[in-house]
Structure 1
Amino acid sequence: MSEPVQRRSLLKLAASTAATGWLWQTGVAQAAETEAAPTEAAEACPGPLDTLVLGDTTSETAHTLTATRSDTVTGGLGQPARVLNPAETKGFWGGRLAATLACRPQGATYVTIKLWGSEKGEDLGRLQLFAEGKQVGHFHLGAVDPLDIAGADPRTPDRFYFHTLPLPPELTAGKHAVDLEIRAMGQVAGYALTAADYFKDMTGPSRTVYRLYTHDQPYFDPDPDDITGTLPAPAKRPSPGIEVVQKINARVLAQAAAEASRTVPQLDLWYLEFLARAYRMPATGAYRDSAVPGQIASSLDGIYWQHLSDANVVINSSQQWMGLGRAGLVMLALAGELEPLLDEFVIGSPGVIANAGFEHGTDTPQSWTAPGWGRTADASWSRDTTVARHGGASLKVQATQSNGFITVYSTPKTKIGKGRYTYGAWVRTDGVTGAGAHIDPLFFDADGKLIGGDHRQYATTGTHDWEYVSLDLDTPDGATRTELHLRLSGPGTAWFDDVTLVAPAGSADAPVVRRDAWAKMLLDSREYWRQNVPQYTNQAIICALGLYLADRGLSWLGAETAWGETRARGYLRQSVGLAPWLGPEDKDGNPTKPLGGAYYQVSRKGISKELGYAGNYGELQDWLALVHDAVIGIDGVQDTELHDHLVKMVKARAVFHYPALDSDGYTAMRYEAVVGWRDGGYPGKVAYDEGNKWDGHPLRLATLLKDPDLTSYARQSVADNQVFQVLQEAYDLGASARTNLQLLSIADDYAYVTGSTGGGAPLPMTPGQPDFVFSDEENGLVAVKHGDEILYASLYWRARWGVNWLARVHLITAEGIERSATVWQDVRYVPDGRSFTEPDWINWEFTTPDLPVPAGGYNPPGDVPHQAFAGQALPLAAAPADAPRTAPGQESPFAGRASFYRCAYGPYLIAMNTAADRTYTFSTKGFGAARNLLTGAKVTGNATLSVRPGSTVVLRKR
Structure 2
Amino acid sequence: MKTMRLWMCVVCGLLFASGLYARKTGVLDEIVFGYSASEKKHGFSAKASQVVTGGLGEEARVLLPIPGERVEGGHITFTMKVDPEKQNYFTARFWGSDSGNSNILILFCEGKQIGYRHLGDYDVLDIANEDKPYPGRFTYTTLPLPISMTRGKKEIELSIRSTGRIFRYGETFDAYQKVMEKPSKALYKGYTHTETCFQPSEKEKKQIEKIERRVRTAPGAEVMEEVRQFVNRQISGYLNQTEIDQETASLLAYAYHEPWTVAYRNKDVVEKVIRTADRYYERYAQNPKSVYDGSWLTVGPLCQALNSFVPEIREIWDEKMPNGKTRRENWTAMCRECVDYAKTHRRSYTNQSMIVDLHLYNVNRMLSILAPEEALPVWQTLKFIYESMGIAPWSGSLSATGEPTWPLGKSYYQFSPDGLSKELGYVGGYGEILNWMVHLYEVTGERGLTDTRDPLIRAQMLKIMHTRSHFRYPTLDNDGYAAMRGESVIGWRDHGYYPAGITYGERGYHREGTPIMAAAATLDPEAVAYAQQMMEDNQFFAVVKEKMKDRGLNSTYTLLRLPGEYDLIMKQPRREGRLPMSDGMPDALFSDEEVGVVALKNGDEILYTSLYWRANFAVNFLARVHYITPECDRVATVFEDIRYTPSGFTYTRPERNNLYFSPARNFYPEVKSAHTGEQLPIAKAPEGVHFEPGQESVYAGKGDFYTLRYGKYLIAMNCTPDRTFDVEVPAAKSVRAFPSRETVEERVLQVEPKSTVVLIVE
- TM-score band (shorter)? over 0.9
Work out the CA distance in 1 between the residues paired with 2:736 and 2:209. 28
Residue matched to 2:367? 554
Residue matched to 1:108? 87
Judge conservation of contact 1:267–1:302 (CA < 8 Å) in 2.
no
CA spacing shift, 1:224–1:251, aligned 2, 3 Å: closer
Residue matched to 1:948? 752
CA apart distance, 1:909? 0.8
Work out the CA distance in 2 between the residues paired with 1:571 and 1:221. 49
Secondary structure class of the residue paired with 1:628 = helix
Residue 649, structure 1, aligned to residue 464, structure 2: yes
Q: Quick check: 192-201 or 909-918, which moved more?
A: 192-201
Work out the CA distance in 1 between the residues paired with 2:631 and 2:346. 43
CA apart distance, 1:254? 4.3
Give the TM-score taking structure 1 as reference length: 0.74
Secondary structure class of the residue paired with 1:744 = helix
Judge conservation of contact 1:235–1:666 (CA < 8 Å) in 2.
yes
Residue 273, structure 1, aligned to residue 88, structure 2: no
Cα deviation, 1:377-405, whole Å, max 9, x if unaligned, reads xxxxxxxxxxxxxxxxxxxxxxxxxxxxx
CA spacing shift, 1:743–1:552, aligned 2, 3 Å: same
Identity of aligned residues (%): 38
Q: Which runs of 5+ in 2 are unaligned?
A: 1-21
Residue matched to 1:243? 222
Residue matched to 1:332? 307
The amino acid that maps onto 1:840 is: E
Of 124, 148, 151, the residue aligned with 1:170 is 148
Structure exhibiting the larger radius of gyration computed from Cα positions: 1
Q: Quick check: 716-725 or 229-238, which moved more?
A: 229-238
CA spacing shift, 1:924–1:632, aligned 2, 3 Å: farther
CA RMSD, Structure 1 to Structure 2 (Å): 2.1
Work out the CA distance in 2 between the residues paired with 1:718 and 1:224. 37
Residue matched to 1:128? 106
Of 454, 460, 472, the residue aligned with 1:639 is 454
Question: How many residues end up aligned between the 2 structures?
Answer: 736
Residue matched to 1:610? 423
Secondary structure class of the residue paired with 2:716 = strand
Q: Quick check: 626-635 or 161-170, which moved more?
A: 626-635
Cα deviation, 1:831-884, whole Å, max 9, x if unaligned, reads 10001101121111111xxxxxxx153233xx7221111111111001111211
Where do 1:9-28 residues align within 5 Å? Answer: none
CA apart distance, 1:192? 0.6
Residue matched to 1:22? none
CA apart distance, 1:816? 4.6
Residue matched to 2:679? 873
Secondary structure class of the residue paired with 2:25 = coil
CA apart distance, 1:335? 2.5
Residue matched to 1:753? 569
CA apart distance, 1:302? 2.2
Residue matched to 2:17? none
CA spacing shift, 1:287–1:201, aligned 2, 3 Å: closer
CA apart distance, 1:316? 6.6
Secondary structure class of the residue paired with 1:58 = helix
Where do 1:141-290 residues align within 5 Å? Answer: 141-226=119-204, 228-230=207-209, 232-256=211-235, 264=242, 266-290=243-267
Work out the CA distance in 2 between the residues paired with 1:213 and 1:279. 60
Work out the CA distance in 2 between the residues paired with 1:845 and 1:691. 30
Work out the CA distance in 1 between the residues paired with 2:48 and 2:559. 47
CA spacing shift, 1:844–1:257, aligned 2, 3 Å: closer
Where do 1:376-391 residues align within 5 Å? Answer: none
Secondary structure class of the residue paired with 2:204 = coil
Cα deviation, 1:558-596, whole Å, max 9, x if unaligned, reads 331212211110111111111111212222212222211
Of 606, 627, 638, the residue aligned with 1:823 is 638
Where do 1:702-721 residues align within 5 Å? Answer: 702-721=519-538
Work out the CA distance in 1 between the residues paired with 2:646 and 2:64. 47
Work out the CA distance in 2 between the residues paired with 1:908 and 1:717. 31
Residue matched to 2:581? 765
CA spacing shift, 1:315–1:562, aligned 2, 3 Å: closer
CA apart distance, 1:182? 1.1
Greater per-residue helix proportion: 2
Work out the CA distance in 2 between the residues paired with 1:337 and 1:280. 15
CA apart distance, 1:258? 6.1
Work out the CA distance in 1 between the residues paired with 2:300 and 2:381. 12
Work out the CA distance in 2 between the residues paired with 1:938 and 1:272. 63
Work out the CA distance in 2 between the residues paired with 1:221 and 1:936. 23
CA apart distance, 1:927? 6.0
Where do 1:385-784 residues align within 5 Å? Answer: 509-510=323-324, 512-634=325-447, 637-681=452-496, 682-688=498-504, 689-734=506-551, 736-784=552-600
Secondary structure class of the residue paired with 1:209 = coil
Residue 896, structure 1, aligned to residue 709, structure 2: no
Work out the CA distance in 1 between the residues paired with 2:638 and 2:395. 34
Residue matched to 2:280? 303
Secondary structure class of the residue paired with 1:128 = strand
Judge conservation of contact 1:47–1:222 (CA < 8 Å) in 2.
no
Secondary structure class of the residue paired with 1:939 = coil
Cα deviation, 1:228-258, whole Å, max 9, x if unaligned, reads 4146211122322222221121232344466
CA apart distance, 1:669? 0.9
Work out the CA distance in 2 between the residues paired with 1:538 and 1:215. 39
Work out the CA distance in 2 between the residues paired with 1:312 and 1:730. 34
Judge conservation of contact 2:441–2:454 (CA < 8 Å) in 1.
no
Q: Quick check: 645-654 or 789-798, which moved more?
A: 645-654
CA apart distance, 1:638? 4.0
CA spacing shift, 1:52–1:290, aligned 2, 3 Å: closer
Cα deviation, 1:796-835, whole Å, max 9, x if unaligned, reads 000001000000000101x151001000000100010001
Of 727, 748, 753, the residue aligned with 1:922 is 727
Q: Quick check: 85-94 or 887-896, which moved more?
A: 85-94
Residue matched to 1:804? 620
Secondary structure class of the residue paired with 1:732 = coil
Work out the CA distance in 2 between the residues paired with 1:869 and 1:44. 31
Judge conservation of contact 1:519–1:559 (CA < 8 Å) in 2.
no
Judge conservation of contact 1:263–1:295 (CA < 8 Å) in 2.
no
The amino acid that maps onto 2:42 is: H
Work out the CA distance in 2 between the residues paired with 1:294 and 1:89. 52
Secondary structure class of the residue paired with 2:445 = helix
Work out the CA distance in 2 between the residues paired with 1:195 and 1:532. 29
CA apart distance, 1:926? 4.9
Work out the CA distance in 1 between the residues paired with 2:642 and 2:100. 38
CA apart distance, 1:44? 10
Secondary structure class of the residue paired with 1:625 = helix
Residue matched to 1:911? 716
Work out the CA distance in 1 between the residues paired with 2:626 and 2:210. 17
Judge conservation of contact 2:442–2:453 (CA < 8 Å) in 1.
no
Residue matched to 1:864? 670
Give the TM-score taking structure 2 as reference length: 0.93
Work out the CA distance in 2 between the residues paired with 1:291 and 1:199. 43
Secondary structure class of the residue paired with 2:548 = helix
Work out the CA distance in 2 between the residues paired with 1:255 and 1:97. 48
Secondary structure class of the residue paired with 2:202 = coil
Work out the CA distance in 1 between the residues paired with 2:305 and 2:693. 44
Judge conservation of contact 1:544–1:572 (CA < 8 Å) in 2.
yes
CA apart distance, 1:936? 3.5
Judge conservation of contact 1:218–1:904 (CA < 8 Å) in 2.
yes
CA apart distance, 1:202? 1.9
Greater per-residue strand proportion: 1
Residue matched to 1:481? none
Secondary structure class of the residue paired with 2:188 = strand
Work out the CA distance in 2 between the residues paired with 1:879 and 1:546. 32
Secondary structure class of the residue paired with 1:518 = helix
Judge conservation of contact 2:25–2:201 (CA < 8 Å) in 1.
no
